[in-house]
Chains A and B, each alone.
Chain A
Amino acid sequence: MSEITVELTVNRRARTATVPARTTLADLLRDSFGLTGTHLGCEQGVCGACTVLLDELPVRACLTLAASCQGSEVVTIEGLDGPDAERIRAAFSREGALQCGFCTPGMVLSCYELARRRQVLTRDEACMAMSGNICRCTGYNGIIRAVRSAIAEGIESES
């Protein structure tokens, strides 16, 4: 079996793992590091449940090989913290942005990138920006309200 050893930082902790070369970042996080908050809804790049931050940018963990992450920094839902993250979590709960919770980690991480940009979004823009994350439960109304309000609160916190 063809194995690789990958060294990377996950949630600010240095990690090393030796895994089959075919291992995706999602499976590395879930199986080697026990970070099962990164969910797999399709493994086709469409649903966004597996979204994590790779070197600060949201990516599909199901479409990224673990091996390609050599030397990179990964943040998963378990490691997402700070004022922006807490505002997002509070807004999600307040606005009814989750039901079963399966899409939630990916939603939160996608929202996090938007919140950090400190840019007001119209409803249409927010929908567009979140269009890469599928939720089968909520019908998105609560998610979009939460995203916009987390962004607004982030901007307010700095003024």
Chain B
Amino acid sequence: MRSAHRRHGIGARVPRREDARHLSGNGSFLADLRLPGLREVAFLRSEVPHGRLSAVRPPADAEPGSVWTATELAPLAQPLTATSTLDGFREAPLPNLAMDKVRYVGEPIALAIAPSRAEAEDLVAGIAVDIEPLTAVVDFSDALEAKALVHEDWPDNVFATTGGAVGDVDAAARAAAVSITREYTMHRQAVVPLEPRGVAAHYDRSADQLTVWSSTQTPHMIRDMIALQLGIEGRRVRVIAPDMGGGFGAKCSVYPEEITLAAIAMRCEYPIRWIEDRWEGMVASTQARDHHYRITAHAAADGELLGVDAEILVNSGAYSVHPWTATMDATMSSAMIPGPYRLADYRFRTRSLASNKTPSGPYRGVARPGACFAIERTIDDLAHELGIEPKDMRLRNMVAPAQMPYRSVAGKVYDSGDYAEAVRRVAELIGHEQWRERQLAIPRAARHRIGIGYGSFTEQTAHGCIEWASRGLAITIGTESARLAMDSTGTFTLAVGIKSHGQSSETTLAQVVSEVFDVDVERVTVVHGDTDRTPRGDGTFASRSMVMAGGATFGAARRLADKVLEIGSVLLGEPAGELELRDGAVHGRTNSIGFARLAKEFLFTPDHVPGVAPGLEVTHYYRPEVQTGAFTYATHAVVVDVDLDTGDVRLLDYGIVEDCGTVVNPQVVDGQIIGGIAQGIGTALLEELEYDPEGQPKSTSFLDYLLPGACEVPEIKIGHLETPSPNTVFGMKGAGEGGAIAPPAAIGNAITDALRETGASISETPMTPRRVWASMQAAAEPRTVGVAG
């Protein structure tokens, strides 16, 4: 790993500056805000998956203005419509409050305002609704067969179909020694940031300013959309995102609650606030995954992957969320199926389906965990058919360093790295050979088995506008901002448009400033999450913050450094080119001047610094020149123990070797990786938002939606490769999501490896003991399982 050339600069293991306030209970989350006169909001939400809403009647004794329905709200705010440039895309406006139909359990119908949350809930309990239930569209086949129409004016339940073909898959099939077809399902998940969402809003009449506090990853975007949906000028709206207890994608879309509270607050004398409770978090925050794959893959006898055919279904729920749209998963997934492999012949079709489930939105890894599961399980099964060690099958097919930049068959430009090296290194890290020996040494009569599994991927991070445009988004995201100011005491305030909520940006971005100025990170305040105090930026998602905001910060710091050197040159009487920024001061050959004195001289008495333009502040916008992104990649390796009697799976060892380019702070990167892996383990083994056939979500509390706890996450072994991206400042690549992508693939492969002799094949997540056991049972009964090759 690159050694830090600055004490607190890039690569330094700087302790997190966020820790102190959280360890003492002084964080300030949305529910902690104290606003004078604040009243609390509770929502009435649909408990019917699909139905015609004919009446909403507030309790007779409700005070005027304390209960709001769609009728009162309609004149104040427009429903959000996520648009897309994809061919044939069908829009599904997302109502702020349901008007004449409800389309999922959890959909907001009305809200009540009271001095306390408990009283607001009392009011909600008194609201009467008439809903005539309709047939619900729940699973893939309901949606495809159009058992009912989620949106009556559509001919079917398809948001959009996409497809494409490169090369000649049929020719590949003819040339292949082996062809297999497999089906996979990644079931629906909740995202579950530990802090639920929340919104507060207050209209200040004297300042004519609407302030909205929201637990959101994208404050500037929320501000734009509030202004647009309310039909007011953007200058009148300020959005603040306070401390946030995680987001992972669930706090990344524009929500009806944000629009609704903002609209109503403009009619209220007092601030109002809604804090999502856990049930609401499970049903009314965007959900994720719910993918089905049918993959046909062809390989030559030597293991070369010749062609892949992918049929992808995504159950996207009832509406399309802004700005991602209901096709976000499908379009990402089809692009990620080719993985880190050289593949010439590829054909795909995706269909994004509407159903009476909660709208889908982003969740860490966006679609890649599903795509990775599908392709990586297939690679292992191909390897098995060919009698090749699965990890060697990967080595055989991976894009080589010499081929970089490599344009994948799906049109992605892989920028740099040695994919195969990650496989070799992780195999060493877990002790592949020793595990194989232990695996073989287990007596046949024993009632458990060991298996080894790998999962490899390459992941586009920090992409620019063209990438979002290629997926049909109406908002193409590709710039990030930073404003850096040196004040009269020589300390720094950095304001960025992203929103740190666990990513440690208050530390890492200060490190970027420190890299340029060589100051302690304690001398740099990082402001984020407030549209009034920060320059416009897009937000924190898609593993983009460090690269994009880091790029902007670096640009701002470099430009401010030039200014500081210029001032130093005048004050020290030495040429700027011979000065150096070191240890909080400008150093010349003989003299030096500390930042504090320099700033004071320049700001208090500019006449002492003739010839230098005023201002000690720089705003910089960063847009990567190459917009195709920086590709982070990794291989995960896992060893499992499977109980043949119960289907229980234990993780015996877990390793990852990854390359996220230049590492800014090793502790932060490792934290992102392990946190992501834990979520991936949740996807692989535990988490499932089950719906019954009538469309009722079943696992909507923490009592039945199982999250990984300390016992479910083994000690993770991490190895780093560090290939700087040619496309980004410092060569950084995004590190936020990769951990979550490969665990289902690696674990699925390991379980299948453990159970090879039984013929069981793992094709669904989560791989619960029930499913693992059932797959063994099914394999034991001939002709009931396995789509043959």
Contacts and interface: CB of A to CB of B under 8 A. Distances in A.
A141 B716 contact: yes
Interface stretch (B28-36, B302-310, B482-490, B547-555): B28-36
A98 to B, nearest CB: 6
A121 to B, nearest CB: 11
B15 interface: yes
Given A77-B25, A134-B194, A98 B713 contact: no
A142 B674 CA distance: 9
A80 to B, nearest CB: 8
A89 to B, nearest CB: 4
B711 A44 contact: no
Contact of A96 (B22, B243, B671): B671
Contact of B701 (A34, A39, A42, A103): A42
A137 B711 contact: no
Interface in B104-140: 116, 118
Interface in A77-99: 77-78, 89, 92-94, 96, 98-99
B3 interface: no
A139 B701 contact: no
A45 to B, nearest CB: 8
Interface residues of B, number: 57
B661 interface: no
Contact of B25 (A78, A94, A98, A99): A78
Contacts of B503: 99
Contacts of A38: 25
A35 B26 CA distance: 9
Given A39-B245, A99-B504, A44 B702 contact: yes
A123 interface: yes
B279 to A, nearest CB: 9
Interface stretch (A66-74, A124-132, A151-159): A124-132
A10 interface: no
B192 A101 contact: no
A87 to B, nearest CB: 12
A94 B14 CA distance: 10
A43 B26 contact: no
Contact of B679 (A46, A78, A100, A136): A136
Most central of A92, A100, A104, A131 by chain B CB within 10 Å: A100
A120 to B, nearest CB: 17
B15 A138 contact: no
B713 A141 contact: yes
A84 to B, nearest CB: 13
Contacts of B707: 134, 136
Contacts of B446: none
Contact of A92 (B23, B675, B679, B702): B23
Contacts of B19: 92-93, 98, 101
A104 B19 CA distance: 9
Given A35-B25, A139-B675, A103 B710 contact: no
Contacts of A64: none
Contacts of B28: 36
A105 interface: yes
Contacts of A43: 277-278
A127 B675 CA distance: 16
Given A35-B25, A37-B26, A100 B710 contact: no
B24 interface: yes
A34 B194 contact: no
A137 B675 contact: yes
Interface string B165-203: 000000000000000000000000000111110000000
Nearest to A34: B34
Contact of A49 (B194, B668, B703): B194
Nearest to B666: A96
B716 to A, nearest CB: 6
Interface in B276-293: 277-278
Nearest to A40: B31
Interface in B229-249: 243-246, 248
B719 interface: no
Interface in B340-387: none
Contacts of A134: 194, 702, 707, 709
Contacts of A139: 671, 674-679, 708, 713, 716, 739
Interface of A is mostly: loop
Nearest to A126: B710
A73 B711 CA distance: 31
Contact of B671 (A31, A92, A133, A142): A142
B594 interface: no
Nearest to B192: A136
B501 interface: yes
A141 B715 contact: yes
Contact of A136 (B21, B246, B674): B246
Contact of B702 (A42, A94, A123): A42
Contact of B667 (A96, A127, A140): A96
A65 B29 CA distance: 23
Given A49-B194, A102-B194, A104-B23, A140 B678 contact: yes
Task: Say which size band chain A's interface belongs to.
Answer: 35 or more
Contacts of B648: none
B243 A46 contact: no
Contact of A36 (B31, B675, B709): B31
Which of the listed residues B23, B26, B677 has the most CB atoms from chain A within 10 Å of its own CB?
A: B23
Given A37-B24, A78-B24, A139-B677, A46 B667 contact: no
B79 interface: no
A136 B504 contact: no
A93 B23 contact: yes
Contacts of B25: 35-38, 76-78, 105
Contacts of A36: 25, 28-29, 31-32
A54 interface: no
Contacts of B196: 41
B246 A102 contact: yes
Contacts of A116: none
B193 A93 contact: no
A144 B23 contact: no
Nearest to A36: B32
Contact of B31 (A22, A30, A94): A30
Interface string B727-751: 0000000000001000000000000
Interface in B505-543: none
B248 A136 contact: yes
Contacts of A133: 709-710
Contact of A100 (B118, B244, B711): B244
A141 B675 CA distance: 9
A131 B710 contact: yes
Nearest to B739: A139
A89 B678 CA distance: 23
A100 B677 contact: no
A34 B26 CA distance: 11
Contacts of B24: 37, 77-78, 89
Instruction: Output the residue of A34, A46, A105, A139 with the most chain B CB within 10 A.
Output: A139
Contacts of B246: 99-100, 102, 136-137
Contacts of B118: 20, 22
B245 A102 contact: yes
Contacts of B582: none
Interface string B240-283: 00011110100000000000000000000000000001100000
Contacts of B245: 39, 41, 100-103
28 contacts: A20-B116, A22-B118, A36-B32, A37-B25, A37-B27, A39-B245, A44-B703, A49-B194, A77-B25, A78-B25, A78-B26, A92-B19, A96-B667, A98-B18, A100-B244, A101-B18, A103-B245, A108-B23, A126-B710, A138-B675, A139-B671, A139-B739, A140-B674, A141-B713, A141-B715, A141-B716, A142-B671, A144-B710
Top 7 closest pairs, chain A to chain B, by CB: A37-B25, A102-B245, A101-B22, A139-B678, A77-B25, A100-B502, A46-B702
Given A36-B25, A93-B15, A137-B194, 6 more contacts: A34-B34, A41-B194, A41-B278, A49-B194, A77-B25, A136-B192
